Amino acid sequence: MAALLRQLWTYRGFIAANVRRDIAGRYAGTLLGGAWTLLQPLAMILIYTLVFSQLMHARLAGSDSPYAYSIYLCAGTLPWVLFAESIGRMTSVFLEYGNLIKKAQFPKVCLPAIALLAASFNFVAAFAIFLVFLTMIGAFPGWLLLPFAAVLAVQLALAAGLGVMLGTLNVFFRDIGQATTVGLQFWFWLTPIVYPLAVVPQWLQDGLRFNPMVPIVTAYQRMLVNGAPPELAPLVYPAVLALLLAALGYRLFRLHGGEMADEL
């Protein structure tokens, strides 16, 4: 693992250049360019606020704030979009850079890092808009941004380990990419993002405890909706799982990374 970190640091210029190229290419040819990075999350926050708070008058149990349900949705949706985009990008990243892999010599592990950082850029922009919204309604989380960053680090480690595994397997078994897209759709609805966990039947709640994103999303919601620090005990499971998946993903990559050029 130390060798992996050294490679990433050595090739940090290569990684940064490709992240910039990815971000610039995403909006190439559009009139507003990079402004779409801010406009898309702004539109989502406005829709959630206007539709659920003003039109449907949706309320979150235990809160008198008219914006509580909107905050609840954003607190779960924004990190989930980062999680799903990270895994989706890393699953296909070796295929997307297939020509570069065959023509140039560089550590292939740089490619998942590029995918993860490009997805993280979108999240940072979206979350900045969300923080502005929270400030405007008097719900800025303040010091809770520190534990938020710690929970986010666990989520990114989980996505990185799983993404490297799936990306490596997808080179040899192309159905993995399609199955990942479908699996993420089911995973979304098995995570309490649009509904509180308390409304789920007890037998299903017991099953959802094996979903590592449940304690992660619950921690986000607890910090941003309730203004309370996250409970540490439930986060042990996703943290340990993230470490195991990172180690397993790196092991799988080391075993089969040399064969990728032939498959591509």
The alpha carbon of residue 155 and the mean position of all alpha carbons in its chain are separated, in whole angstroms, by 7
Here the tokens at position 142 are: 């303040």
Number of neighbours of residue 22 by Cβ within 10 angstroms: 17
Question: Are the C-beta atoms of residues 193 and 114 closer than 8 Å to each other?
Answer: no
The residue behind tokens 């507003």 is 32
CA 253, CA 246: separation in Å to the nearest integer?
10
What pLDDT is recorded for position 53?
A: 60
Nearest to 86 by CA among 13, 155, 36: 155
pLDDT digits (tens, 9 = 90+) for 116-141: 999 998 899 889 989 998 998 888 99
Q: What pLDDT is recorded for position 63?
A: 65
Token pair listed for 138: 């008097």
Q: Where are the domains of the chain?
A: 9-263
Q: What's the pLDDT tens digit per position in 164-209?
A: 999 999 988 888 989 999 999 999 999 998 888 888 888 888 888 8
Residue whose structure tokens are 């990419």: 177
Of 75, 83, 122, the closest CA to residue 217 belongs to 75
CA separation for the pair 219, 234 (Å, rounded): 9
| Alpha carbon of residue 191 to chain centroid | 13
Q: In the chain, what is the greatest distance between 2 CA atoms, to the nearest angstrom?
A: 60
The answer to whether 12 touches 258, Cβ cutoff 8 Å, is no
What gap in Å lies between CA 201 and CA 106, rounded to an integer?
Answer: 50
Q: Which residues contact 77 (CB under 8 A, 6 or more apart)?
A: 44, 193
pLDDT at residue number 156: 95
Please choose, from the candidates 145, 156, 161, 193, the residue with its C-alpha nearest in 3D space to the C-alpha of residue 82.
156
**Residue 158 near residue 212, CB atoms below 8 Å:** yes
What one-letter code names the amino acid at 127? F
Q: Which two tokens stand for residue 97?
A: 């850079």
What pLDDT sits at residue 234? Answer: 93
Positions in the chain whose pLDDT score sits under 70: 1-3, 27-38, 41, 52-64, 257, 261-264
